[in-house]
Amino acid sequence: MAEISTIARPYAVAAYKLGREQKALAKWSEMLAFVSAVASDVQMQAYINDPKVISGELEATFLKVCGDKLNVQGQNLIKVLVEYGRMSILPAITVAFEELKALDEGTLDAQIVAAAKPSAAEVKNLIQRLEAKFGKKIDANVSVDSELIGGIKIIVGDTVIDASVKGQLQNLAYTLSA
């Protein structure tokens, strides 16, 4: 069986192209996030995976739950996914869509983990430096992890910048054991 991301990608590409064509990428992003949340709900997952539920019932129920959060194209996506039994890949479609959107907008997601809560000025300065380094707009998610002891750890895509005390101690231990 194919990977879920492989199956989800064509749907995400179609939604992305349609959203870009209509200059409605933000609306599509909002719709996909909403339907993914609905599809990820435990009760809805049980309903989606129930073999006794026929596709017409599933489609009607899902669209009723979504209400006016979906435009006509969003409703059509749900109808196609129900028809082909692919409702379970909605979260993967959303992830692939957001990757395409971020690539188009030239943005990168960054995870900033600090030992202590940084000030707004420090975060702003760090984001500016990351944008200069990567040449793209950075969307940062800041969190605190006291296990770092001190310093900061930054993850941007596949790049990890570990300037934490914990990371330095691990490097030192590795060097001494070699």
Fold of the domain built from segment(s) 4-103: Peroxidase; domain 1 (1.10.520)
Average pLDDT, whole number, for the chain?
A: 91
Element (H, E) at 113: strand 107-114
Residue 124 has a pLDDT of: 95
Domain ranges of the chain: 4-103, 107-177
User: Which residue from 37, 2, 32, 40 is spatially nearest to 14, judged by alpha carbons?
Assistant: 32
d(CA 127, CA 109): 11
Which pLDDT belongs to residue 2? 60
Residue type, 165: V
pTM of the model: 0.64
Mean pLDDT by 10 residues, the chain (178 residues): 81 94 93 94 92 93 93 95 93 91 83 92 94 89 91 86 89 86
pLDDT (0 to 100) of residue 104: 81
Give the pLDDT of residue 1.
43
Q: What are phi and psi of 165, to 5 degrees?
A: -65, -40
**pLDDT for position 31:** 96
Range 107-177 has CATH code 3.40.30: yes
